[in-house]
């Protein structure tokens, strides 16, 4: 015998499908409030956008004045979706460049064209995977048709799930709104829905448009915050489509930063109230197969690193090396308080945590892979070459206009302070420091602005002397009559080594080391790219100095002395670069340069 059941009228199919409790506000269990608010308004220095926690790679921008020509739309950045009138052209799908215009305004017969929200739903149900890259969704007015399209794109992963429970409710809602938006209320029967379902579904549409109608009636529509209005309407659609059980395993995952690694994989930094192993399946649902590395923030300055793809070009060991090089919290030169762990999982320094921001961490993951290429290094080499050229030009200007007699009055022209060479070296040093200090202040060890470590570098001193004698340190054109007599020696042995080593072994080497591996005190001896690049610039500068003012005919007929001098300078640059990396300091290259210059000058004095 069946137990007594309460005398409760059965809901019609239309009521069951539409959920009329949403309209009446009758929610005795507070089920609607149990749904998470997944839509966040994010702001950056350049723009603002809406982001869904389930699809953090999609950014929604809603701007009143957003209008793009047809040619500009077709040439837009890959991963752009235009909605409902933003692009002034016919609807199109460029699958190759992944640019889509979902529209039914221009370049089409409106009565024969699906509305924007229906176009978005068709794309989603056809299997468009939006997880494979970053996307920007552009809209210029948050009417219901547009916001429904945004909701569909942001929720595409759940819609495509075969277990999605409220598919029919979504389909009927979109079909009716699409029909009304494209054809008008008088042809809503063209939606093909039963009359009772049209009536019930019309209540849902009216409920969603109630605020829009009121604002437009009161002439307030153009004054509201479109971002906030869109986020609120998206959440109301959530309450209409989803049930709390759909989010039984929901855990908010906040994306802090991301970086594209090689065009196929990404590194992301996230924050969540769960461990990395619990987080893995949820991240794969959100990001698909794109994840290379995940950085999980566990505290104020503590992070866990996890390699999600075992087929990455490098392992976490290369990432640790990169992070240890750029993190101010790491005692890099003492090899203490390091990032480390296994090749699959590791973390930030345990002693003090990290001083890096999430963006810097994911960028380090990217650089650990991209440092294997040469394109970025070439660009940086050209950049530092230009900077060194500017410094050299400034030094020549200082040489030309020296001395400023207004404050050197009383000093004879045969004095060291009044010599053009002094002005050139002084300007060279000041210009180098002007460029060096701003970029080296946060990571001084990267530019060698620290005391040296180890002692093995002393073994390279004979090589530095031999390279100097081979022409790496050409004779200075200073006249021997400078006063005091030790002044010319001071310029050659103090100012010149300081100026050149600051420019080439500190500024140039450190700048190139930003995206390259360099030698360390106990590492295997290798000629790193920063070391070679700085030596090339040093040799070019010495060639310029020795050949300055020499007629081209002389250079062409007797190039050997200049080529030997350039070769000697390159060899000296290599030796001093190795010393710079082994000692981790600019102090030792300056010392070795001084000793080599003194040897050259002493040899020349004995010979002549």
Q: How far apart are CA 545 and CA 143, in angstroms?
A: 69
Is the pLDDT higher at 361 or at 560? 361
The arithmetic mean of pLDDT across residues 12-33, rounded, is 48
Task: Give 419's pLDDT tier (boundaries 50, 70, 90).
Answer: confident
Closest to 510 in 3D by CA, of 601, 418, 384: 384
Provide the 10 A C-beta neighbour count for residue 311: 7
Do residues 398 and 423 touch, judged by C-beta distance below 8 A?
Answer: yes
Q: How far apart are CA 331 and CA 445, in angstroms?
A: 10
Look at residue 172 and tell me whether its pLDDT is greater than 80: yes
Rounded to a whole number of angstroms, the distance between the first and last alpha carbons of the chain is: 125
Do residues 140 and 64 touch, judged by C-beta distance below 8 A?
Answer: yes
Look at residue 384 and tell me whether its pLDDT is greater than 80: yes
Distance of CA 401 to the CA centre of its chain: 43
Phi, psi of 600 (to 5 degrees): -65, -45
Is the pLDDT higher at 419 or at 93? 93
- The angle at the Cα of 530, spanning 527 to 535, to the nearest 5 degrees, equals 80
Look at residue 53 and tell me whether its pLDDT is greater than 60: yes
Q: How far apart are CA 78 and CA 227, in angstroms?
A: 23
Q: How far apart are CA 239 and CA 508, in angstroms?
A: 58
Domain boundaries, the chain: 16-247, 254-370, 375-607
Q: Kind of pairing, strands 254-260 and 266-271?
A: antiparallel
Look at residue 26 and tell me whether its pLDDT is greater than 80: no
Q: Residue 115's pLDDT is what? A: 92
Bridge partner residues of 136 (DSSP): 59, 80
The arithmetic mean of pLDDT across residues 303-320, rounded, is 89
Task: Give 404's pLDDT tier (boundaries 50, 70, 90).
Answer: low
Residue 495's contacts (CB-CB under 8 Å, 6 or more residues apart) are 422, 425, 426, 429
Burial of 309 (0-12, 13-18, 19+ CB in 10 A): middle
The predicted-structure confidence for 460-492, as pLDDT tens digits, reads as follows 999 999 988 887 777 654 555 554 555 667 778
Q: Residue 413's pLDDT is what? A: 57
The predicted-structure confidence for 206-237, as pLDDT tens digits, reads as follows 999 999 999 999 999 989 999 999 999 999 99
* DSSP 8-class letter at 186: G
Do residues 172 and 201 touch, judged by C-beta distance below 8 A?
Answer: yes
Look at residue 170 and tell me whether its pLDDT is greater than 80: yes
Do residues 254 and 269 touch, judged by C-beta distance below 8 A?
Answer: no
What is the SS3 assignment for 473? Answer: coil
Q: Residue 3's pLDDT is what? A: 41
H or E element at residue 260: strand 254-260
Closest to 239 in 3D by CA, of 32, 79, 60, 408: 32
Q: Kind of pairing, strands 345-347 and 340-341?
A: antiparallel
Q: Residue 218's pLDDT is what? A: 92
Q: How far apart are CA 95 and CA 76, in angstroms?
A: 13
Sheet strands (E) in 63-150: 80-83, 92-94, 99-102, 135-139
The arithmetic mean of pLDDT across residues 277-292, rounded, is 85
Q: Which fold has domain 254-370?
A: Diaminopimelate Epimerase; Chain A, domain 1 (3.10.310)
Helices (H) and strands (E) in the chain, counts: 22, 13
Look at residue 354 and tell me whether its pLDDT is greater than 80: yes
Q: Residue 398's pLDDT is what? A: 83
Q: Kind of pairing, strands 99-102 and 266-271?
A: unpaired
Look at residue 89 and tell me whether its pLDDT is greater than 60: yes
DSSP alpha helices (H): ranges in 104-249?
116-125, 144-154, 156-160, 167-183, 195-217, 226-241
The predicted-structure confidence for 492-540, as pLDDT tens digits, reads as follows 888 889 999 999 999 999 999 887 888 877 777 778 889 999 999 999 9
The arithmetic mean of pLDDT across residues 438-460, rounded, is 85
Closest to 595 in 3D by CA, of 390, 451, 457: 457
H or E element at residue 545: helix 529-547
Bridge partner residues of 336 (DSSP): 331
C-alpha distance from residue 125 to each of 60, 159, 164, 374, 411 (Å): 20, 7, 12, 43, 86
Look at residue 347 and tell me whether its pLDDT is greater than 60: yes
Both structure tokens of 68? 């793009």
Bridge partner residues of 305 (DSSP): 295, 346
pTM of the model: 0.67
The arithmetic mean of pLDDT across residues 21-42, rounded, is 63
| Mean of the per-residue pLDDT values of the chain | 83
Do residues 596 and 472 touch, judged by C-beta distance below 8 A?
Answer: yes
The predicted-structure confidence for 95-149, as pLDDT tens digits, reads as follows 999 999 999 888 888 888 899 999 999 999 998 888 878 899 999 999 999 999 9
Question: In which residue are the tokens 């990267």 written?
Answer: 446
Provide the 10 A C-beta neighbour count for residue 409: 8
Q: Residue 127's pLDDT is what? A: 86
Q: Half-sphere exposure of 514 toward its Cβ, with a 13 Å CA cutoff? A: 18
Q: Residue 23's pLDDT is what? A: 47
Do residues 519 and 526 touch, judged by C-beta distance below 8 A?
Answer: yes
Q: How far apart are CA 555 and CA 569, in angstroms?
A: 18
């Amino acid at each position: 015998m069946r137990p007594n059941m309460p005398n409760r009228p059965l809901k019609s199919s239309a009521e069951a499908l539409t959920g009329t409790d949403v309209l009446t506000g009758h929610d005795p269990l507070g089920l609607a409030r149990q749904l998470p608010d997944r839509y966040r308004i994010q702001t950056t220095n350049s723009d603002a956008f809406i982001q869904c926690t389930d699809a953090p790679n999609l950014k929604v921008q809603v701007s009143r004045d957003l209008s793009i020509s047809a040619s500009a739309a077709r040439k837009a950045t890959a991963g752009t979706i235009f909605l409902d009138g933003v692009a002034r052209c016919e609807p199109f799908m460029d699958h190759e460049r992944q640019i889509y215009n979902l529209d039914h305004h221009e370049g089409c017969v409106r009565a024969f064209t699906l509305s924007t929200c229906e176009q978005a739903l068709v794309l989603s149900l056809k299997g468009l995977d939006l997880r494979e890259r970053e996307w920007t969704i552009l809209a210029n007015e948050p009417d219901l048709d547009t916001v429904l399209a945004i909701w569909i794109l942001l929720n595409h992963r759940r819609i495509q799930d075969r277990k999605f429970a409220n598919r029919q409710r979504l389909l009927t809602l979109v079909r009716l709104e699409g029909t009304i938006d494209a054809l008008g209320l008088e042809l809503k029967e063209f939606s093909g829905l039963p009359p009772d379902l049209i009536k019930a579904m019309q209540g849902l549409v009216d409920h969603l448009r109630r605020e829009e109608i009121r604002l437009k009636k009161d002439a307030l529509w153009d004054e509201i915050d479109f971002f906030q209005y869109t986020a609120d309407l998206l959440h109301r659609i959530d309450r209409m489509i989803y049930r709390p059980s759909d989010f039984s395993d929901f855990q908010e995952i906040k994306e802090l930063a991301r970086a594209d690694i090689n065009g196929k994989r990404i590194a992301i930094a996230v924050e969540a109230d769960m461990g990395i192993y619990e987080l893995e399946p949820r991240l794969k649902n959100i990001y698909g197969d794109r994840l290379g590395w995940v950085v999980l923030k566990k505290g104020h300055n503590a992070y866990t690193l996890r390699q999600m793809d075992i087929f990455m070009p490098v392992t976490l060991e290369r990432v640790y090396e990169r992070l240890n090089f750029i993190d101010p919290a790491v005692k890099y030169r003492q090899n203490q308080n390091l990032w480390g762990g296994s090749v699959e999982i590791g973390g930030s320094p345990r002693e003090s945590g990290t001083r890096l921001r999430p963006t810097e961490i994911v960028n380090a993951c990217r650089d650990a892979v991209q440092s294997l290429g040469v394109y970025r290094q070439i660009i940086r080499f050209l950049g530092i070459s230009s900077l060194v050229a500017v410094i050299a030009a400034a030094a020549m200007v200082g040489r030309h206009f020296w001395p400023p007699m207004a404050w050197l009055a009383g000093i004879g022209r045969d004095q060291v302070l009044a010599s053009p060479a002094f002005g050139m070296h002084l300007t060279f040093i000041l210009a180098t420091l002007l460029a060096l200090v701003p970029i080296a202040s946060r990571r001084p060890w990267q530019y060698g602005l620290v005391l040296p470590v180890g002692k093995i570098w002393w073994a390279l001193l004979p090589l530095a002397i031999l390279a100097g004698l081979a022409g790496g340190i050409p004779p200075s054109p200073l006249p021997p009559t400078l006063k005091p007599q030790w002044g010319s020696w001071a310029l050659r042995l103090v100012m010149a080594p300081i100026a050149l080593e600051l420019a080439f072994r500190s500024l140039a080497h450190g700048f190139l080391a930003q995206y390259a591996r360099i030698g360390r005190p106990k590492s295997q001896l290798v000629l790193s790219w920063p070391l070679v690049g700085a030596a090339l610039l040093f040799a070019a500068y010495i060639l310029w100095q020795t050949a300055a003012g020499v007629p081209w005919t002389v250079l062409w007929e007797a190039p050997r002395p200049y080529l030997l001098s350039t070769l000697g300078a390159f060899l000296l640059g290599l030796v001093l670069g190795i010393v710079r990396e082994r000692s981790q300091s600019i102090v030792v290259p300056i010392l070795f340069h001084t000793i080599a210059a003194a040897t050259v000058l002493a040899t020349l004095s004995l010979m002549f």
